[in-house]
Amino acid sequence: MKQDMIVILDLGSHENTVLARAIRALGVYSEIYPHDITVEELKKLSNVKGIIINGGPCNIVDGVAIDVNPSIYEAGIPVMAAGHDKATCAVKLPQFTDDIEAIKAAVKPFVFETCKAEANWNMTNFVNDQIELVRRQVGDRKVLLALSGGVDSSVVAALLLKAIGNNLVCVHVNHGLMRKGESEDVVEMFGNQLKANLIYVDVTDRFLTKLEGVEDPEQKRKIIGGEFIRVFEEEARKLDGIDFLGQGTIYPDIVESGTKTAKMVKSHHNVGGLPEDLQFELVEPLRQLFKDEVRACGLELGLPYEMVYRQPFPGPGLGVRCLGAITRDRLEAVRESDAILREEFQLAGLDKKVWQYFTVVPDFKSVGVRDNARSFEWPVIIRAVNTIDAMTATIEQVEWPVLMKITDRILKEVKHVNRVCYDMSPKPNATIEWE
Ligand SMILES: Nc1ncnc2c1ncn2[C@@H]1O[C@H](COP(=O)(O)OP(=O)(O)OP(=O)(O)O)[C@@H](O)[C@H]1O
């Protein structure tokens, strides 16, 4: 890492990541470390230009107020504290809020005037650094990567491809629960255009057979996740001489699973659950990036806008939008109606505005009329929500004519459907997904 860095010491603030993002938005790289880091550990990090002690409400751990190692004040690195009265440094600020612009303004003088940090954090430098680091780590050995077509694994794939070319082996599993055209796009982009070493496995029948008659959402998720690992494992065992596993781990995954004051510890993002005898060393080139930086990195690597700004998609795919026990006809209805919704949202310019939008097909029918005769068919439910952090969500107020056009197309083009509804429920009380 050649870039200058401001180190944030986590003293129980909820805003550590906002602070890190604010500093990075100023063009200076920043990372969060536990409050009790030692001077020796600090000195091992490259190019540390300054330290910000970030105090906050969670600074009592197991009944004891935590504090930084006093020797860090003597490390010869400028120190600033926010929301920490006991700090013994010259610059002290009140506790930060989550307003990124306000934080940027507050820390700017410290970062540039006191620490003399250079604004050299940008994606061109990052990509060049990572290519060098990956080459150093991997040498001429091989890396296996599970490539979903999602933002994270796609950006990892593009980066590793630049770094090690055909020593990267990508595996894309089509479990039959992908959106329309999604697996085809992965093959087109990575297989045909970028000429990656791509193994494409279509295991639709295997997944749908496993899922037959399974109604419980948790059970469905478990089967899909478990079966995915089995398929991936089978493919991995067929290959020779793979030492590394590429992963789309990003910085929030690291922070959430690693800080000492965090109340909620989430498990590390990975292709978890691989058997122990399949031992790989990990290659995680995005582990320093926030999601918006991952997207910027993808663009820097030349991936198309639609791919890096793809809306979030649940791991179990359309499986949790085909409610109850999955059947092929309803799965097809979800896939086709979702494709129509995406097309029409794009035409109306809503694809760049709405955070997540999709359709759901429940496992009950209603009475309708088709060709002058009674019909008994499925409804399609449209959902379009906005959120900042996925903890709460509001409903997009889609213009009536857009909804009418989508409804009209779904009723005409999607088989076995006679009704379209719009889900008006915010989170809470509803969740974003139905299952
Ligand atoms: N169908 C698939 N084929 C190959 N790999 C997959 C598939 N689904 C998931 N993966 C792998 O599992 C990882 C975690 O999947 P998850 O659905 O949680 O995606 P994510 O965290 O949104 O990441 P991504 O943006 O890469 O999809 C992915 O990054 C990818 O490596």
Instruction: Give the CATH number for residue 109.
Output: 3.40.50.880
Among candidate residues 81, 114, 147, the one where a domain is terminated: 114
**Whole-number pLDDT of residue 14:** 87
Whether 260 and 127 map to the same domain: the answer is yes
Strand 79-82 and strand 29-34: the pairing is: unpaired
**Whole-number pLDDT of residue 255:** 81
Instruction: Give the CATH number for residue 388.
Output: 3.30.300.10
Q: Is 140 annotated as a binding residue?
A: no
Whose CA is closest to atom 11 on ligand 1? 146
Name the domain count of the chain: 3
Q: Is the dihedral of CA 123, 129, 135, 138 positive or negative?
A: negative
How much of the chain is in helix, strand and coil states, percent to nearest 5? 40, 20, 40
Assigned domain for 82 exists: yes
Say how many C-beta atoms besides its own lie within 10 A of residue 73's C-beta: 18
Residues of the chain falling short of pLDDT 70 = 1, 257-272
**Whole-number pLDDT of residue 261:** 57
CA of 84 to the centre of ligand 1 (A): 40
Assigned domain for 432 exists: no
Rg over alpha carbons for the chain, rounded to the nearest Å, is: 25
Whether 176 and 240 map to the same domain: the answer is yes
Q: What is the atom index within ligand 1 of the atom nearest the CA of 317?
A: 17
Q: Is 139 annotated as a binding residue?
A: no
Instruction: Give the CATH number for residue 234.
Output: 3.40.50.620
Q: Is 13 annotated as a binding residue?
A: no
Whose CA is closest to atom 16 on ligand 1? 315
Domain that holds residue 229: 123-308
Residues with CB under 6 Å of ligand 1 are 146-148, 150-153, 171-173, 175, 248, 269, 271, 315
**Whole-number pLDDT of residue 262:** 47
CA of 173 to the centre of ligand 1 (A): 10
Predicted-complex ipTM score: 0.96
Whether 52 and 152 map to the same domain: the answer is no
Whose CA is closest to atom 18 on ligand 1? 315
Of 33, 40, 1, 28, whose CA–CA distance to 17 is shortest? 33
Whether 384 and 292 map to the same domain: the answer is no
385 forms beta bridges with 356, 395
